[in-house]
Amino acid sequence: MVVAGLAGHRQPTCQRQGSTAGTGLFARVLPTRRSVDERKETPTMTVEAEPAEKQQPTTTPGPVSWEHKDTLWSISLFGTAVGAGILFLPISAGQSGFWPLLAVTILIGPMVYLSHRALARFVLSSRVETSDITDVVEEHFGLVAGNLITVLYFFAIYPIVLIYGVGITNTVDSFIVNQMQFQPPPRWLLSLSLILLMMSVMMAGENIMLKVTEFLVYPLILILFGLSVYLIPRWNFGALFEVPSAKDFVVTIWLTLPVLVFSFNHSPAISSFARLQRRDHGANAVRKSDAILGVTASMLLVFVMFFVFSCIMCLTPEQFVAAKSQNISVLSFFANEFDNPVISLLGPVVAFAAIVSSFFGHYLGAREGMRGIINQQARNMGFETDPKTLNIFIVLFFILSVWIVAIFNPSILGLIEALIGPLIAAILFLLPMYAIHKVPAMAKYKGHISNVFVTATGIAAVSAIFFQILR
């Protein structure tokens, strides 16, 4: 463990509470007059031991108005959800047929909004204003459970960050070779340049990240909408008359749910999003985050599903099979079908914008997970981390690990992504619902029919993922 290697030795336990000694990544915490055994018996990490953290505001919530920054957050969360998979979503989801997909669409809107709203409320339930999700699980569920959930949270998101490092390298390399007809630079140099470019945006701060995401996502939305409208004259209404049996209908809905859940998933950015809403809006944070998440879910439902339905209305079942077997994006398939090179050129543009904007949101979640793991391990050993040094360590870790994976492009990444699917769905759907029934700070959300809906659809999505992995 990095903690064990860099921590050093402890100081005597006779100093004043909150004082520290040492420099570097870990500073030694000099405990209070309570014995170490007494501290270990405490079920959760108390917030009083960290005077730098602000207590949650106690002001009464008031009316909230929509601001430009709320629009930027909606755009950023939209970008987190819409990864490069958007180009393959019509093929993977469209094979279910029109009517099952319509039924799933009716379900997916409330599923996305209510699950992400519950996760944001879970983060906001902490009595410490600066807490992220790793702090909240420790506060509510205790040290052991908190550590376990934090580790699972990190490993649910970190592989996706690695996948995006590979994806952006492959996308730009393919664009240079196929569209620009140039010789690409060495893969190690190309991947490093792209990763440093994306990481520099994250290091520049929240406002720069939101501005860059806005610059990427607005064209993405316009392209998706423009393509959807462009395809309308080519719609084949024969798909409306293909009605599956009742059994096939239900099974198809069940197996299609995870496809859309992951296509709309922006949970990796929710913790940072909720924490910053509380910083900016205090007691109005819940109402403000609810409103922003509602707009995000609506944008995803309208623009993404319009694109999906417009695509599937142009394809026959035989064409779906052909596109699936060729493992090409729907834009590449349409470019070949319609002999339209413009559509083919739009593919790399959509992929680039989608990958970069989604990388930002997933990096936020993975960074929080790693910071939580190191901080928790340090506190267990009686040490406190130096924030600046820790941030530098985390940035270097991500640059090096994403770069190495992007160079070698291992095929196992797809398998890892499939295996972590149930974990992501469980954190998004089931963890907040469990907290509502077990955590006093979440008790005010009990008794709503939406909780039953989120729990039932979450269990359905998780079980469908397991079924698809095992069959």
Q: What pLDDT does 346 receive?
A: 85
Q: How big is the chain, counted in residues? A: 471
pTM metric for this prediction? 0.83
In whole angstroms, give the CA distance from residue 81 to residue 109: 13
Q: Say which residues have a Cβ less than 8 Å from residue 119's Cβ, sequence separation at least 6.
A: 133, 267, 270, 427, 428, 431, 432
Nearest to 158 by CA among 367, 337, 384, 393: 367
Query: Alpha-carbon Rg of the chain, whole angstroms?
Result: 23
12 phi, psi to nearest 5 deg:
-60, 155
Residues β-bridged to residue 28? 21, 383
Q: Say which residues have a Cβ less than 8 Å from residue 332's Cβ, sequence separation at least 6.
A: 344, 347
By the 8 A CB rule, do 265 and 249 touch? Answer: no
In whole angstroms, give the CA distance from residue 322 to residue 154: 37
By the 8 A CB rule, do 129 and 55 touch? Answer: yes
In whole angstroms, give the CA distance from residue 427 to residue 433: 10
pLDDT, tens digit, 9 for 90 and up, residues 235-278:
988 878 888 888 889 988 898 888 888 889 999 999 999 999 99
Q: What pLDDT does 27 receive?
A: 60
Nearest to 399 by CA among 359, 369, 361: 359
Nearest to 150 by CA among 375, 413, 457, 419: 375
Q: Is the dihedral of CA 275, 281, 283, 284 positive or negative?
A: negative
In 10 A of CB 211, how many CB atoms? Answer: 15
Residues β-bridged to residue 385? 26
66 phi, psi to nearest 5 deg:
-80, 135
Strand order of the β-sheet with 20-21 is: 20-21, 26-29, 383-385
3-state SS record for 206-218: HHHHHHHHHHHHH
Instruction: Name the residue type at position 235.
Output: W
Q: What pLDDT does 260 receive?
A: 85
- The low-confidence residues of the chain, meaning pLDDT below 70, are 1-62, 327, 412-415, 417
By the 8 A CB rule, do 24 and 389 touch? Answer: yes
Instruction: Name the residue type at position 26.
Output: F
20 phi, psi to nearest 5 deg:
-135, 165
**Count of alpha carbons within 13 angstroms of residue 87, beta-carbon side:** 27
Calculate the CA dihedral of residues 29, 31, 35, 40 and round it to 10 degrees: -50
Instruction: Mark residue 22 as left, alpha or beta (left: phi above 0; alpha: psi -120 to 50; beta: remaining).
Output: left
**Tokens read off for 269:** 């950015």
Q: What pLDDT does 271 receive?
A: 95
